Amino acid sequence: MSITYKDSGVNIDAANAAKARMKALVERTRIPGVIGGIGAFGGLFEGAFPGMTDPVLVASADGVGTKLKIAFMTGRHDTVGVDIVCHCANDILAQGARPLFFLDYLACGRLDEETVVSVVSGVAEGCVRAGCALLGGETAEMPDFYAVGEYDLAGFIVGVVEHSRMLDGSAVQPGDVLLGLASDGLHTNGYSLARRVLLDEAGLPLESTPEGFECSLADELLRPHRCYTKPVLPLVQEKRIHAIAHITGGGLIENLPRSLPEDCGAVIDRTAWNVPPVFRLIQQKGDVPDGEMYRVFNMGIGMVLVVAPGEVDHVASSLEAEGERVIRIGLVESGPHHVVIEGV
């Protein structure tokens, strides 16, 4: 009996059908700099940056993580793509970079055309939010790797920053103010713990609306990673920001020091903002220690801007005008290179 590739679980025709439908999604994300269409071996982008004297490319790779399980459980696949692009865009924004292009890696056990197109529609939406082009990607069908209906999604972004505008911590001074930007829920971190506590241990149904929530648990857990690129980038270009920390896995405790010089630390006043209900629910249901919460979750702060005291009012009002919620959460201090969260 003759065996074909399709018999072994790989359906090239289904992949080609999905690819054809991706073209319109990719087209949505086209920005100046993109050369040619999709279908070539590699995606092409202009590498001359007129008006920049010393451009630096900034690149980052990341995955959505086990937030994907919520997409599988609810059958809603159009938001996780937003998550991965916005996560990556925020990462390079931490160094002041403007995103240029993004590529995705989507691996599944059995390629379902509708699911793939839905995921990629989210990737395209994320690219629109971040202002970058979806330049390419890989959709892999890997039988025996992923359960039917499951997949993994990772992404890769490249941006550019003028060397003299690059944020590397060197501009930070003791006395600088830490401005927290409100997050949209868990973003893309801590889902293994959140699922374990809320779904496995507490047994909460995803369609329920827990006390204090304004939406179902499913909606809350699927809220896309907020993209801070468009409101924050102009302030970087005006040199009003000394440093930026993207609050991802590791929370405020591990991420904030990455943006500060070695001889500085930070003190954060945890009473400066109300920790959103989803974090309080996880902590309560799992009896999770305070320190662990601030090391795993963003606790309501998705990004921290380090700003000179004299710039605080301008920066805050500019961001608020763009729809951000800005909270003065603490200060930079000279001393040990770590974060003290007062009261934790």
Q: Which of residues 109-148 bind a second copy (CB under 8 A)?
A: 135-138, 140-146
Which among 8-16, 21-29, 263-271, 321-329 is the span making contact with a second copy, rule CB under 8 A?
Answer: 8-16
What is d(CA 66, CA 88) in angstroms, rounded to the nearest whole number? 16
**Secondary structure (DSSP) of 220-266:** HHHPPPPP-HHHHHHHHHTT--SEEEE--TTHHHHHHHHTS-TTEEE
Q: What is the pattern of x (binds a second copy, CB under 8 A) and - over residues 251-290? A: -------xx--------------------------xxxx-
Q: Where are the beta strands (DSSP E) in 64-217?
A: 98-108, 133-141, 151-162, 177-182
Cβ neighbours, 10 Å, residue 289: 11
258: tokens are 């990455």
Nearer to a second copy, 3 or 148 (CB): 3
In the list 18, 22, 29, 43, the residue contacting a second copy (rule: CB under 8 A) is: 43
Q: Does 1 bind a second copy (CB under 8 A)?
A: yes
For a second copy, which residue of 32, 39, 50, 310 counts as binding (CB under 8 A)? Answer: 39
Closest by CA position to 247, among listed 178, 310, 318, 320 = 178
**For residues 76 and 74, what is the distance between their CA atoms, to the nearest angstrom?**
5
State how far the Cα of 249 lies from the Cα of 253, in Å rounded to an integer: 10
For residue 2, state whether it binds a second copy (rule: CB under 8 A).
yes
What track of x and - describes contact with a second copy for positions 205 through 244 (by CB under 8 A)?
Answer: ----------------------------------------
Closest distance of CB 200 from a second copy, Å: 9
| Residue of 97, 123, 301, 327 interacting with a second copy (CB under 8 A) | 97
Q: Which of 224, 295, 318, 329 binds a second copy (CB under 8 A)?
A: 295
51 binds a second copy (CB under 8 A): no
Interacting residue with a second copy among 17, 63, 74, 267 (CB under 8 A): 63
The yes or no reply on residue 46 touching a second copy (CB under 8 A) is yes
Least spacing, CB of residue 196 vs a second copy, in Å: 4
Helix (H, G, I), strand (E, B) or coil at 152: strand
Q: What is the dihedral of CA 123, 156, 70, 111, to 10 degrees?
A: 70
Non-local (6+) Cβ contacts of 203 within 8 A are none
Give the residue, chosen from 20, 24, 61, 215, that forms a contact with a second copy under the rule CB under 8 A. 61
* Residues facing residue 273 across a β-bridge: none
Distance CA 77, CA 99 (A): 24
Instruction: Give the range of 57-65, 74-82, 215-223, 325-333 binding a second copy by CB under 8 A.
Output: 57-65
Q: Which is nearer to a second copy, 78 or 141 (CB)?
A: 141
